[in-house]
Amino acid sequence: MKSLLLQVLAFALSSFILAGDRPNIVWIIPDDMSANFSCYGETAISTPNVDKLAADGIKFTNAYVTAPVCSTCRSAFITGMYQTSIGAHHHRSGRGEMKIHLPEGISLVPKLFQDAGYHTSISGWPGRKGKLGKTDYNFEWDKSVYDSSDWADRKEGQPFFAQIQTPGGKLRGKDESGWEKIATAAEAEFGSRTPLESVTLPPYYPKHPDIVRDWAAYLDSVRMTDAMVGEVLACLEEEGIRENTLVLFMTDHGISHARGKQFMYDEGLHVPLVISGPGIKAGTVRDDVVEHIDIAALSLGAAGIPIPEYMQARDILASDYEPRDAVFAARDRCDETVDHIRSVRTSQFKYIRNFLPERPYLQPCAYKDAKSILQAIREYEDAGKLNEVQQLVVRKTRPAEELYDVAADPHEIVNLASDPKYADQLKTLRTRLDQWMEETGDLGRTPETEARYDSDMAPYLNKFTGAKADPVALKTIEDNIALMKKWAAEGK
């Protein structure tokens, strides 16, 4: 009763603050992009706009998503909840006849801003009038939580909460045509494309020409994203509202690659998080571990809006914030590909649990298998050109547990789970993960029913029929679905 009264009083107090004194909040969230920015140590390219944002504010060096794929990640940050706690843990779920509804009492962040008198918008960049930006939430929601696609539609003196969603790493496409398109765009924008010789691949990827070219194109997508950030900041400056606007830059997960997107290694989980605006001390660097859902709580806190008690996100900018000592993540079904992985990470160690260890690392997945980089890896595998480290990516089974000293082994190559010297650390993190799953009500502990799986597969398959028919892709997905069901029946 006391906490409820405090929330009511806090809301009442916030209502008396003059609109002009309440900060605007802008989220810039590109797709499929790791922390390959100069301020995070990338040397192959320069990213002056994100670098300046960091110099003017806070750079978090240890920010991690709770889900390494877009719809689950977005479902989490827009509610400030773990996707596993709200039933949104399967990628692109609830799209068929069987819908997903949020637990009673949970609101979307833009709704909380709306209720506090803010104008809310979501767009791409540059925005298109009347066209909302990417949402991709895995549950039923009311589009009225967004007032429009442009903060310019706000009333005079009204503060605003704006989400800007951009393609990010998706700009490079999946093959040579996409690589050339983004490289040409970079040449037009900057006068050059990223040179192939400047590319440094992680040691677990072979230097196949297609993988090198793809990575160069990816870096060009980072450069184009940085330029877009500069345009947003310039727009705020031109409108005279930059000083009263909290700008937050974060990606929805890491690079889409074999060991990145959809997986629990840092390539998929580690993201840039940079925040600049009123009340933020310039040049601050934070090394404590934080979760991407925390952007929900910190944004509400910055606006003087009470943070709901149910919210699992934390206001990491609050003066009384007590740093986390660990962050958690989950990967479940992605499109047709069934999986079940959980992880816990501290500043030094990462523990991964593979609940389906008899399956290969690179299970059949139409989305990822269509990428030239995956085809290149398999080409080199068939030709016997992968070294021992690179073979980690293509193993036919997985260890049930993985433990990495990420401080000493940032590429997560040496699995210490069977090393007696790390038995205590393994036990500690194993227990931490069990506690988290129990305390947060991890709904992924119960397998998805075949009826719900079929419900979500129906609209997915329909995408490849009709006017946009792609019989090859359709057959691939149908075969993958049959394989998933076969493996499940075999207990694999």
Rounded to two decimals, the pTM is: 0.95
Please state the length of the chain.
492
- pLDDT, tens digit, for every residue of 128-167? 888 999 999 999 999 999 999 999 999 999 999 999 999 9
Q: Predicted confidence band at 7 (pLDDT cuts at 50, 70, 90)?
A: very low
Reported as type and span, the H/E element at residue 343 is strand 341-345
Mean pLDDT of 9-36: 74
Confidence (pLDDT) at 370: 97
Model confidence at 126: pLDDT above 60: yes
- pLDDT, tens digit, for every residue of 469-479? 999 999 999 99
Query: What would the two tokens of residue 296 be?
Result: 């929900």
Mean pLDDT of 94-109: 97
Burial class (CB in 10 A: 0-12, 13-18, 19+), 260: buried
- pLDDT, tens digit, for every residue of 243-276? 999 999 999 999 999 999 999 999 999 999 999 9
Tell me the CATH number of domain 2-317, given options 1.10.10.10, 3.40.50.460, 3.30.110.30, 3.40.720.10.
3.40.720.10
Please, what's the b/e burial string for 12-31 (b: 16 or more CB within 10 A of its CB; e: otherwise)? eebeeeeeeebbbbbbbbbb
Using CA atoms, how far apart are residues 386 and 488, in angstroms rounded to an integer?
30
- pLDDT, tens digit, for every residue of 401-440? 999 999 999 999 999 999 999 999 999 999 999 999 999 9
E-strand ranges in 140-244 read 160-166
Mean pLDDT of 462-486: 95
Would you kindly state where each structural domain of the chain is located, as residue ranges? Answer: 2-317
Query: What would the two tokens of residue 81 be?
Result: 């909840």
- pLDDT, tens digit, for every residue of 190-228? 999 999 999 999 999 999 999 999 999 999 999 999 999
Q: What percent of the chain has pLDDT over 90?
A: 94
Of the two residues 25 and 21, the one the predictor is more confident about is: 25
Mean pLDDT of 374-397: 98
Confidence (pLDDT) at 11: 47
Using CA atoms, how far apart are residues 467 and 371, in angstroms rounded to an integer?
23
The strands making up 341-345's β-sheet, listed across from edge to edge, are: 327-331, 341-345, 349-354, 401-405
